[in-house]
A and B are shown apart, each in its own frame.
Chain A
Amino acid sequence: MSIRPVLAVMLMVAASLPARALPAIESWVSADGARVLYVHAPEIPMVDVELVFDAGAARDGERDGLARMVNGLLEEGADGLDADTIARGFEDLGAVTGFSSQRDMASVSLRSLSAEDKLAPATALLARLVARPDFPATAVERVRNQMQSALMQTRQSPGELANRAFYETLYPDHPYGAHPGGTETSLEGITQDALKAFHERYYVAANAVVAVVGDIGRADAETLVEELLGGLARGERAPRPEGPGAAAGTTLLIEYPAEHVHLLMGQRGMRRGDPDYFPLYLGNHILGGSGLVSRLSKAVREERGLSYSVSSGFIPMRGEGPFKVSLQTKAANAGEAMAVVDEVLAGFVAAGPDEDELEAAKDNIVNGFPLRVDSNAKIGGYLAMMGFYDLPLDYLETFTARVEQVTAEEVREVFARRVDPEAFVRVLAGDLDDAQRQALGVVVHDGE
């Protein structure tokens, strides 16, 4: 294979360079207003490109599932090409594509060999998909059915059912409340016109971020980005998702025939770029974000053997993302597990971390930092995230210094100010007996 000799040369060059601690990020704005972040990584002859639109489920409007359906249909027919032709087009080049759509981001990604005869046609094909999807009627029906099938799968997964109810309850009348996969009814109501209109509004250059990492020089990367976005209108960036506050202090039960109870509890958390990000991040790391050494894991799993997995986390989003504690436990232990979590939370919110814990957490985060950026895939993920959420270009460079600056008092203060377990939304999915229902004061949730 002709690639081999090139590989050998690249390997030798790579071996002679010092290992890099941080990628050098460059950034520019495309001709039509897309923000571009780029890292030159010549060691492996491949290129990763991710194109992220602010076109996730937060933009669904009255039609839950619309954003995901649009995203899923891009590869099902575009610019006169059918799904088979598109699939062959990428796979004949050895290229790999990815499509995903969550609440904030709708993403389209490409991994290709960097050789010109592979990368150029793969990019050209992707550009056609993104700019000119056809939404053919047969494909629309097929993808609708696949999404219905995915909903059925959700309905046999108690963890996913709990998650869904958690978002619904925490975000009433807010774009984050709806399930990105839609509902049985909403999916039925999505028309070809709605798909086209959504695409026209949100798949536009000014609403896009492009991340490029790999064996490609800056000038070629600029050309690639213009090729990729060439067919898109400039358009406008979508506004920040907003909505009224949550109903507080509810405990819901989703009746589900399982041995386990899945438990989720939490509240609204923060946006990306929140001024309290670092103390909240560090505090959560100690509370439930650091695996087996976290306070929650020690109390629930290590000391009592109540759960295989227990964790907490903030999910910073463009709008206010949630703070969430989750665990699973045997149905009979649900009350005990929730009480233990509450006790740990109350203690942490009242007193904050002690100095030793804080130092240990800082050591963990600072010493482990190089692992976060040790592959092109991880670097690309950071670029997309930084671009999408308007984080400063020195975000990675200053990350460990910002962590080091946090004090125990700061953590205590922000947790006391911003985390209120009394007001948590709590969701249990499982098979609880009457005594437990009464003890926990649950309201049976009428899921669809």
Chain B
Amino acid sequence: MRTARPLIYLLLTALLALPWHAVKAAAVTEFVLDNGLKVLVKEDHRAPVAVSQLWYKVGASYEHGGITGLSHMLEHMMFKGTERYGPGEFSRLLAEAGASDNAFTGRDYTAYYQKLGVDKLELAFRLEADRMRGLLLEPGEFLKERDVVAEERRLRTEDRPNSRLYEQFMAAAYVAGPYGHPVIGWMNDIQNYTVEDLAAWYERWYAPDNAVLVVAGDVEPAAVRTLAEKHFGAIPAAGTAPPKPRREPAQTGPRRIEMTIPARLPYLVMGYKTPNIQSAGEEWEPYALTVLAAILDGGSSARLQRELVRGTEVAASASADYSLYQRLPGLFTLSGIPADGVPVTQLETALEGVVERLRREPVSEEELERVKTQVVAEDVFQRDSVFYQALRLGMLETVGLDWRRDEAFVEAVRAVTAEQVRTVARRYLVPDALTVARLDPQPMDGQAMTAQTPPSRTQQENARVH
């Protein structure tokens, strides 16, 4: 349901970080309309349903200081009426059709989707084409929705100590690159958006030649083409210019921050700057990093669970994360909560030890084989979700990759050697590329809770660079 909308960008990050979800290419049809709208059709005839996802190449990493989160705010306003369908009309029509519709914003994309009975697909196209141009951005609706977004930020970030730490962690890791600010935006930026900011953002990025339409389900490609031409065909191309590169300058030493905020549990995040599929020096590197993440966190038998949660019991929980499909180079992250009574520094030392061992000795053939078996199995399992298959296609295209790149995923992972895993650990999991953030919990009870300072400011003041 739509009230859960922006949760999805969080889930998405988690899902896409999973290393093993390739899309079977056999049943994908691609065509491009005259106005530049690319359309991908993925057939899956198991049930009489379809999913339509319209992806725009714009997201938080396209934003600069002062307007952070604007892509997400615009996503909210896209449900607030067009010249043709007034506020509420869009949701009402889709609700009657039994559609489940929503949207999500990420760093590299903003996407809108409808899941519906396949006989209702045209309605999705009609409404989605309509709001590609002609959005109202009515000032009264805007002011209310800006409050809703501020509420959303309170819910998702201000009231969650770990989310606050992660936000500060990213801000510390990136000095100039646009992955440093949160997708939802800084609170003060949210509170100062204007209708004009949104109108300009909409004009600039919402056009057929800056979008990809993905349709999956019980559909015939020829019929989808006819429908797409009927509804999207007349929208003129805008000649959208891509964003400036905004490359992050090389990091030349470890960075550490600490947050002292009221919380019950400590929390640790460590991240190394790593290349992704577009920036890797050698083509196998991102796949080796993917395998490395799975060696550490690909299930209960993987190293973090086996060694830190069960073996030495220094962690109550621990995880590793890497995403090879991103527009700009990202981070390989390790994070965790120390076990009861274990200082956070001890968890940090343990995680460094895990990394050090990866640099020192090759992973065992048994571990490598297990990861590959899991990749092959997951490749089958993910076909159960039509939505996820469509998501995969749209996401690749909007981060600047041809969707066919994903076809090669399973084979590329299967080709990774233990020596390559050690090589990427040596090249990239190095102290010079490391950012560490620690949450040092402060008491939550007593007078601390009635402090007059808004937590967002407290947070800024207490996040200190060592």
Contacts and interface: CB of A to CB of B under 8 A. Distances in A.
B47 A363 contact: no
B380 A45 contact: yes
Interface in A307-364: 307-311, 328-330, 360, 363-364
Interface in B327-345: 337, 339-340
B383 interface: yes
A370 B117 contact: yes
Contact of A308 (B96, B151, B158): B151
B107 interface: no
Contact of A153 (B147, B264, B383): B264
B146 to A, nearest CB: 8
Nearest to A360: B96
Interface string A15-43: 10111110000000000000000000101
Interface in B135-172: 143-149, 151-152, 154-155, 158-161
Given A88-B301, A371-B98, A46 B444 contact: no
A137 interface: no
A307 B384 CA distance: 34
26 contacts: A18-B45, A19-B46, A19-B118, A19-B218, A46-B380, A46-B384, A84-B301, A87-B301, A88-B301, A90-B300, A91-B302, A118-B377, A146-B317, A149-B337, A152-B264, A156-B264, A158-B159, A292-B91, A302-B144, A303-B144, A307-B151, A329-B151, A365-B98, A367-B117, A374-B49, A375-B47
Interface in B226-256: none
A105 to B, nearest CB: 21
Contact of B300 (A75, A298, A311): A75
Contact of A370 (B48, B300, B410): B48
Nearest to A92: B370
Interface stretch (A6-14, A264-272, A385-393): A6-14
Chain B's interface size range is 35 or more
A260 interface: yes
Contacts of A375: 46-47, 384-386
A104 B116 CA distance: 32
B8 interface: no
Q: Which of A255, A258, A304, A431 has the most CB of B within 10 A?
A: A258
Interface of B: 1-4, 24, 26-27, 43, 45-49, 79, 88, 91-92, 95-100, 115-118, 120, 143-149, 151-152, 154-155, 158-161, 218, 262-265, 298-302, 305-306, 309-310, 313, 316-317, 337, 339-340, 369-370, 373-374, 376-378, 380-381, 383-386, 410, 414, 444-445, 448-451, 454-455
A90 B144 CA distance: 50
A75 B306 CA distance: 13
A278 to B, nearest CB: 17
Given A293-B88, A367-B98, A376-B384, 15 more contacts: A43-B46, A87-B306, A91-B374, A94-B374, A118-B377, A142-B310, A153-B337, A256-B449, A257-B262, A257-B444, A260-B159, A291-B2, A293-B95, A305-B144, A368-B116
Contacts of A284: none
A367 B98 CA distance: 4
Nearest to A297: B3
Given A20-B47, A88-B301, A301-B148, A259 B154 contact: yes
A377 interface: yes
A443 interface: no
A259 B454 contact: yes
Interface string A49-75: 000000000000000000000000001
Nearest to B43: A15
A186 interface: no
A87 B316 contact: no
Given A14-B45, A21-B47, A371-B116, A91 B376 contact: no
A14 B43 CA distance: 11
A257 B155 contact: no
A373 interface: yes
B151 A374 contact: no
A7 B22 CA distance: 14
A90 B298 CA distance: 12
B105 to A, nearest CB: 14
Nearest to A147: B316
A88 to B, nearest CB: 5
Contact of B301 (A91, A367, A373): A91
Contact of B100 (A15, A118, A368): A368
Q: Give the top 7 A-B pairs by smallest Cβ distance, nearest first.
A: A367-B98, A94-B377, A368-B98, A257-B449, A305-B144, A87-B301, A291-B1
B381 A46 contact: yes
A148 B338 CA distance: 12
Contacts of B118: 19
A156 B263 contact: yes
A313 to B, nearest CB: 11
Contacts of B116: 367-368, 371
A247 interface: no
B53 to A, nearest CB: 15
A20 B301 contact: no
Contacts of B97: 363-364, 367-368
A192 interface: no
A153 B265 contact: yes
A260 to B, nearest CB: 5
A145 B376 contact: no
A158 B313 CA distance: 28
A234 interface: no
